[in-house]
Every structure is written in C-alpha cells, then in structure tokens.
Amino acid sequence: MGTYQCAAGWEDRNALPGHTQDLYVLRRAVGVYQAIIRRLTAQTTDYRVLLSTFAEGLFTEMDFQNEALNALRMQARCTAGPRGGCCQGCAVSAARLGVG
C-alpha cells in the first residue's frame, strides 16, 4: 500500500467576527502605542499601516474558497496539454469544494 500526503483546510465561518474584533482592539492599541513612541523616540514607523497590511493578508488567507479555486486552476494548468501538462513528475494537489 502506498503512502499519501494530505493537506486539509476548512473554513470556520464563526472565526471571522472574532478575528475582526481582535484586529479592531489591536488597531486601537497601536494608535496609543504609536503616539507614545513618537513622543519618546525619533522612530517613524507607521504601525497602523503595518497592522493594516497584516490584516489584509490575514483575511485573504482565511478565504479558503478562493484558495481552493486557485488550487483547482493550478491543477487544470499543470495537467492539461498534449504531454500531460507542464508539471510532469510533480505532485499537484486535488482540491474539492463543498466537502462536508
């Protein structure tokens, strides 16, 4: 019997509101922290921009349906073509939507 590797991701729809609240609290804290840092040091880092960039990446990564669609597109591109696609000898993940 062969050995298989598997990666699984699932979406917890109840997690998003909690993460949104956490990021709101962090944004408020960053505002206070940044005000203190600007008074005490010559540092010019804009922590709000850093937090916004982090939050954007977090919400993008939490969109598992988009991630699955990207995997399906990659699978189609890598396996299509006259010689079996561009990824001969490569393992291409199999994504499924709506598995429950």
Q: Is 85 exposed, middle or buried (0-12, 13-18, 19+ CB in 10 A)?
A: middle
- Domain positions in the chain are 15-79
- Is residue 99 predicted with pLDDT exceeding 60? no
Residue 8 amino acid letter:
A
Q: What is the mean pLDDT of residues 49-61?
A: 85
- Is residue 23 predicted with pLDDT exceeding 80? yes
pLDDT per position as a tens digit, 69-88: 887 887 777 777 655 566 56
Q: What is the mean pLDDT of residues 25-35?
A: 89
Q: How far is 86 from 71, CA to CA, in rounded Å?
A: 15
pTM of the model: 0.51
For the chain, give me the number of helices (H) and strands (E)? Answer: 3, 0
